[in-house]
Amino acid sequence: MKSRPFALAVLAAAVLTSLSDCGGNKTAAVPTPVTTPTPAPQAVHTDLGTTNFNVRAHGSTSFNVDFPPAGLLDVTATWPGSSDIAIYATDQSCPGFNEVASGACGILGKAAAPGVKPQKMSFQTASGKIYTIWTANNGSLTEPVSMNTGITTQGPIQQPPSQPTPAPVTSPGTPRAYPTPTDLASGPVAQVKAYIKSIDTGGFNYRPAEQDKDGNWVVHPGEFVVFDLTQRNGAGLICNWVREPEWTLDDPDKLLKVKESNVPFFLRVIVEHKGHFELFGEIDGVRSNKLTVDSVANGN
């Protein structure tokens, strides 16, 4: 009765010996891990929205695209009438449409062929910059224009983390910057651009800035207008500054009611009646371009 377990033990030993002899002293091969390559970022198009506005005959309008990411910005303008509409893109340092038309400002994008509708253009953007989109009406009638903008980037647009606005520094010798963007280039300030930041026609309804054929900016009684300044260094980069901006306003017709502003870059006014005024700003001793503005009745 004890021979059966002994036989099983002998058989088990034989099997183990056979397994250990198989392949000699070689160890089992370890498979090499396969590294999965990181996929290349895919091009992603983001719709930045559509804005609607009127462009007077032989006039122009403009609005800014503030600090887009690096990518390809596309602009499409449509309108119902037969007027020739042209669109242009420049760096925000360009002071007005007359400088666009004369070639004094570098043109980043353009769609101005007569008889073409809609007009489409695209141009490369760099991070940390502001761009201006100009619309010109070469016809004899006011045209309602619908303009769509979008941008194509490598991968989705990364939203920057929210950061609190730094408190103003009391020392006039300490550079400071409001957080758009947070990493401004170093100074000193070499050029300053004054421009219309926004026009509220009432009830938080906004329209683009507008110029007539002579280059005067056009506002209407009852509108709430915010003027702004942008400072750049010698390389043309938006930069840090030392002293707070100062505005100089020449309003002989007394048509403006100046409102308080907790941002010294902004000059906030309510247009109370028709007339003419001029203004410019100054940062760190550098004077901006002068804005000449006519207040006319809406529809004129």
pLDDT category of residue 208 using cuts at 50, 70 and 90: very high
The residue ranking higher by pLDDT, 33 or 179, is 33
Over 70: is that where the pLDDT of 156 sits? Answer: yes
Does residue 8 have a pLDDT over 90?
no
Q: What is the mean pLDDT of residues 274-294?
A: 97
Of 11-20, 116-125, 133-142, 202-211, minimum mean pLDDT range: 11-20
Which pLDDT band, with edges at 50, 70 and 90, does 128 fall under? confident
Task: Tell me which of 35 and 258 has the higher pLDDT.
Answer: 258
Strands 191-202 and 119-125, sheet pairing: unpaired
Give the per-residue pLDDT at 25.
52
Share the mean pLDDT of the chain: 84
The answer, yes or no, to whether the previous bond of 68 is cis (omega within 30 of 0) is: no
Question: Is the model's pLDDT at 191 over the cut of 70?
Answer: yes
> Is-contact 179 66, C-beta < 8 A?
no
pLDDT band at 248 (very low <50, low <70, confident <90, very high): very high
* Residues 198, 285: Cα–Cα separation, whole Å: 25
Strand 217-219 relative to strand 291-295: parallel, antiparallel, unpaired? parallel
84: Cβ–Cβ under 8 A, 6 or more apart, which residues?
A: 114, 115, 137, 138, 139
Closest CA to 133 of 62, 55, 77, 78: 62
Fold of 175-300: Immunoglobulin-like (2.60.40)
Q: What is the CATH number of domain 43-155?
A: 2.60.120.380
- Contact by Cβ (8 Å): 71, 152: yes
The answer to whether the beta carbons of residues 85 and 135 sit under 8 Å apart is yes
Looking at residue 155, what is its pLDDT?
A: 83
Q: Residue 90: is its pLDDT beyond 80?
A: yes
User: Can you name the residues that pair with 144 across neighbouring β-strands?
Assistant: 54
Sorted by where each begins, the domain ranges of the chain are 43-155, 175-300
pLDDT surpassing 60 at residue 45: yes
Give the containing element (helix H, strand E) for 136.
strand 130-137
